[in-house]
Structure 1
Amino acid sequence: MVPPLDQDVSGLHQCRVVVQDGVDLALDDVGVVQRRGSVHVGRGFGLRRREVDNSQDGAAVGSTEIVSARRDDESTADASPAAVVPRPEHVISVNVSTAVRLATVVALIAAVLTAGGLWLSARGELTRLRASAADEQRFEQIATEYALGASNINYQDVNAWVAKLKANTTPQLTAKFDATAPKLQEILVPLKWTSTAAPIAAEVMSTTNGIDKVNVFLTVNSTSAQTPEGSQMTITYSVTVDRNNDWKITDVGGLDSALPSK
């Protein structure tokens, strides 16, 4: 139903008013009214309008139809589906002091991790050096014990001395001493050779794949039928030890210097 032109329609949620061409539309504080050829729309209302042809129902051609007038603060359930309600924006704010503390913590963690890595590396290197030093000490000890046994000779017990020559040696070196023992006995017994030795030093000279060559320095005091008053000399043994072969001695050099000349 179209309200009369002189009726106040300010309380209507929706109205249908036919307005002739040329009629002004203006905003008013009270509502939608028809006064002196004008349509006044109260504050808070919205208007939708379109041009229509009302020639069939008696209205003038080219009239304007107000199809709705609705308050902006009332329900908009029947509003156009094209209306989009803006979504609230999510803003994350970080306090400056919090950011500084976070950066400090990250820096501290990085420093701790770096220090830990360096410590582990240094610890590994120290362990390797200690193991290497322990191996080197064992090489020197084995070589020194062998050299002392080879230099302490008593012509009255040549077999015991030959046993010391073969001690902790490889089968190949043992066989070599077994072959030379009779000749050595022929030299020592007639000369009544005796000798005692004391260690001076030992040093690893080279290392190759677990095989070390060690120089052992000894002071040797000897007596014989030719020199009953005795004599002293410094001799050097070169002893090769194979760690991969149960720390066996594979070769001995310098043994001749501890024996009397033929």
Structure 2
Amino acid sequence: MKTEEAQSDSVNAVEPEDSKPEAAPSRALALDADRVDSGRRSSILVAVAAILAVVAVFCGAQWRSAANETADLRAAAADEQRATEIARDYVKRSLTYDYRNLDAFFGAVTDGTGDTLRERYKQVRETLGKIMTESQVVASGNAVSAAVDSVTGDQYRVTVFAIQRTQNVQQKDPASVPNLLTVTVAKNGGAWQVTDYGPQKVAP
């Protein structure tokens, strides 16, 4: 009897050990699943990082493009403003003269001009000076308004409305005369020049 009980106890003692190994495959599967999930998460994070990098590059390029366009627009507006100021100043100088000091007048209208315009004044200086002296003409000009009509490359065509007060030997009292003038201003590097000037041409 004791031998049978001992065998029974031995069997009972072994039975729990037979049931334990069954949990090992479950743990292994769980570890494999964790590895798969971890790998998927890593792949997703890498993909998201790549997408964010592309978006950042695209947004940076767009920002730089917008910044460059804004800078170009500001530079263009500044150039137009400068051309307008030069045109107004030139019109004022061209409409202001005194027969008693013609050198000052011809110096003023040739200062800051291109070769062609300077040569034009040189050719008419003697004749125009004689007329101004004989008429005893005195005048002063004021540029009332100005606007850029067109831009071709670095050339700006500016229309200026001006009022000239003038008197001469036949007209002792000063009279105001309106003038609509066209001034072409050219930018050459950092220098500006008046290249053409005259009354605005009215289409027939």
TM-score computed with the length of structure 1 as normaliser:
0.56
Sequence identity percentage: 25
Note the 1:226-241 alignment, pairs <5 A: 226-241=170-185
Which structure dedicates a bigger proportion of its chain to strand?
1
Over 6 Å off, 4+ runs: none
Note the 1:111-190 alignment, pairs <5 A: 111-190=55-134
Q: Which amino acid aligns with 2:139?
A: S
Per-residue Cα deviation, 1:170-226 (whole angstroms, up to 9, x for no partner): 233222211211211222223221111222222222222322222122122222233
Q: Which residue of 2 aligns with 1:252?
A: 197
Cα distance in 1 for residues equivalent to 2:152 and 2:61: 31
Compare relative contact order (CA 8 Å, sep 6+) and give the higher one, 1 or 2: 2
Aligned residues: 166
Cα distance in 2 for residues equivalent to 1:140 and 1:149: 14
Q: Which residue of 1 aligns with 2:157?
A: 213
Q: Which residue of 2 aligns with 1:93?
A: 36
* Unaligned stretches of 5+ residues in structure 1: 1-89, 256-262
Per-residue Cα deviation, 1:106-154 (whole angstroms, up to 9, x for no partner): 4443333222121111001011111111221221122221111111111
Aligned-partner SS, 1:227? coil
Cα distance in 1 for residues equivalent to 2:41 and 2:117: 78
* Unaligned stretches of 5+ residues in structure 2: 1-31
Q: Which residue of 2 aligns with 1:31?
A: none
Q: Which residue of 2 aligns with 1:4?
A: none
Compute the RMSD of aligned alpha carbons.
Answer: 2.6
CA contact (8 A) 2:141 2:165 kept: yes
Which structure dedicates a bigger proportion of its chain to helix?
2
Q: Which structure has the bigger radius of gyration?
A: 1
